[in-house]
Amino acid sequence: MASSRTILVAGAGIGGLTASLALAARGFRVVVLEQASRLEETGAGIQLSPNASRVLIRLGLAETLAPVVCVPDVVRVRKASSGRDIVTLPIGRSERYYGAPYWTVHRGDLQAALLAKVRECGDIEIKLGARVDEFAIHPNGVTVAFSGPTGASDVGGIALIGADGLRSQVREKLGDARPPRPAGRAAWRTLLPVQVLAPELRTPSVNLWIGRGAHLVHYPVRGGELVNIVAIATDDTEAPGWSSPASSGEVLQHFPENRWPLGARALIARPERWLRWTLYDRPPLKKWGRGPVTLLGDAAHPMLPFLAQGAAMAIEDAIVLADALAKRPEAPAAALRAYERARRPRDHDVQRAARRNDRFYHLGGPMALARDLVMRVGLGGELMLARYDWIYDWQPPADVLAPEPAPEPA
């Protein structure tokens, strides 16, 4: 493999795989080092707003994703204590408003689509069971030491992208040894076949119920076959490991009868198995990189899921990174600093906005009443959606990829 055009990527999550595709599309060879010996995504859904779907479409994923994504008509925001609608955001019009759709998708389906595209591409090599331990910067670029079941090895390239998630080893080796901080919130996630839901819950919408100290989100995935349910509540217990099994009873404790309507509680009670995540956060990082090494996605800016933007920001990062390196392939360190300058302000603004939404969703008492009034009367659905224009209307740099092909003549 010609190392003068080889970029090393640590991590084959949504960020690492998207970055690999974007880099290969710009003529780079890519070696992805992934610690897991198999790539499988735990069952959960993900919302992909237009800023992210636009990038995936430009990378050629529209056809593979078409059978598995759902295009919700609205985000329906409901008040937990009364069960009544507060406001309805018309996200079904995203294609017309923002030029790209709002999708909901099973993470496994998204990962499978990215992997299929990666495997079509002769310029990307994925090394599974390869845990990045260390890197050394030298005049020719960077050498990464990794270990796996067959022992230790190393690989060289002109740059290293740490797309290795919340507990990034690359971030630590760049000098940030502080652990992620628990956010005092837990998320429980599960999937149900759509047929088992009550008819009124089978709408092709993103449903968001907000209540004091907790909220509940559900939306269709896998082309409408499954419903993804996420319950988030204030919770200080730190579960060991990445995610841990939980029961409906455990989740229901955070959604008590006196504050949550029967329909929402029945939905939480239905699944036999939930998985619980402790949510973590990190304060914005002043420097993301050094020399030919940088960070991307959760490794650089993990964020609370209250804006559904963590993966979207990793996807945006990926295309900007590829653009920056393609502009200055002979000077990777300068290219990576340009990437960081382009991305840091936006990623950190979104991180902060997600944190604000946490407080906004979980208000109680008079503050909640004021919030609901502002949403229902002061703004309404159209204006509420317009408040997210700065996120959803984001465009990748114009010259990132070749122009889209002209439509076939009729």
Catalytically active residues, by annotation? 219
The string of DSSP codes covering 142-171 is EEEEEEETTEEEEEEESEEEE---TT-HHH
> What CA–CA distance (Å, rounded) separates 395 from 249?
44
**Contacts (CB under 6 A) with ligand FAD, residues 119-138:** 131-132
| 138 contact partners, CB below 8 Å, separation of at least 6 | none
Minimal distance in Å, beta carbon 52 to ligand FAD?
6
Q: Does 77 bind ligand FAD (CB under 6 A)?
A: no
Contacts of 281 (CB under 8 A, 6+ apart): 180, 181, 183, 302, 303, 304, 355
Choosing from 157, 310, 332, 381, the residue that interacts with ligand FAD (CB under 6 A) is 310
Q: Per CB under 6 A, does 35 bind ligand FAD? A: yes
- Rank residues 16 and 108 by Cβ distance to ligand FAD and give the closer one: 16
Q: What letters, b where the CB count within 10 A reaches 16 and e where it falls short, cover 319-348?
A: bbbbbbbbeebeebbebbbbbbebbbebbb
The reply on whether position 334 binds ligand FAD by CB under 6 A is no
CB of 369 to ligand FAD, least distance (A): 28
Closest CA to 208 of 188, 192, 235, 231: 231
Q: Is 334 in a helix, a strand, or coil?
A: helix
74 binding ligand FAD? (CB under 6 A): no
Among 308, 333, 353, 375, binds ligand FAD (CB under 6 A): 308
Q: Judged by CB under 6 A, which of 7, 16, 88, 105 binds ligand FAD? A: 16
Q: Which two tokens stand for residue 334?
A: 């300068």
**Binding characters for ligand FAD, 182-201, by CB under 6 A (x = yes):** -----x-x------------
- By CB under 6 A, tell whether 298 contacts ligand FAD: yes
Read off the tokens for 306: 């209250």
Q: Which of residues 263-282 bind ligand FAD (CB under 6 A)?
A: 277
Choose one: 149-157, 244-252, 297-305, 387-395; the region binding ligand FAD (CB under 6 A).
Answer: 297-305
Q: Which of 46, 105, 113, 221 binds ligand FAD (CB under 6 A)?
A: 46
Please state, in angstroms and rounded to a whole number, the distance separating the CA atoms of residues 222 and 227: 8
- Cβ proximity to ligand FAD: between 75 and 372 the closer is 75
Residue pair 244/237 in contact by the 8 Å Cβ criterion: no
Write down the least CB distance from residue 35 to ligand FAD, Å: 4
User: DSSP 3-state assignment of 262?
Assistant: helix
Closest distance to ligand FAD from the beta carbon of 91 (Å): 13
Query: For ligand FAD, which is the closer residue by CB, 35 or 207?
Result: 35
Question: Which residues is 232 bridged to in the sheet?
Answer: 187, 215
Instruction: Determine if 311 is a binding residue for ligand FAD (CB under 6 A).
Output: yes
C-alpha to C-alpha distance for 178 and 193, rounded to whole angstroms: 41
Residues lying near ligand FAD in the complex (CB under 6 A) are found at 10-16, 33-36, 46-47, 131-132, 163-166, 169, 187, 189, 230, 277, 297-299, 305, 308-312, 314
